[in-house]
Amino acid sequence: MRADSIVQDYPYLLTREQASRFLGLDPKSFDKYIRQHDTLSRFMIGRQERYTIKSLINFIENQSI
C-alpha cells in the first residue's frame, strides 16, 4: 500500500481521533504522549484542535532518537 493512498483516506485537517488513528495510537495515548508537546503544530477551529498529516509526520521525525 502506498503512502499516497493512505493520505487520501483522511481529510486535510484531522481531529484528535483521526490523528491518533493515523499514528496507530489510542486517543488517550495520543493525548498523553503526543498532544501535550508544544512543538506539535496545530490549527484551532474555535476550541477544537486540528492537525495536518505533515505536522504529525514532522513531529514524529523530529522526536525520534
What does the pLDDT read at residue 7? 72
What is the per-residue pLDDT for 65?
Answer: 83
pLDDT tens column, 20-46 = 999 999 999 999 999 999 999 999 999
Q: What are phi and psi of 63, to 5 degrees?
A: -90, -10
pLDDT at res. 55: 96
Q: Quick check: 24 and 62 in contact, CB under 8 A?
A: no
- The pTM assigned to this predicted structure is 0.84
Burial class of residue 49, CB neighbours in 10 A (0-12, 13-18, 19+): middle
Q: What is the DSSP letter of 17?
A: H
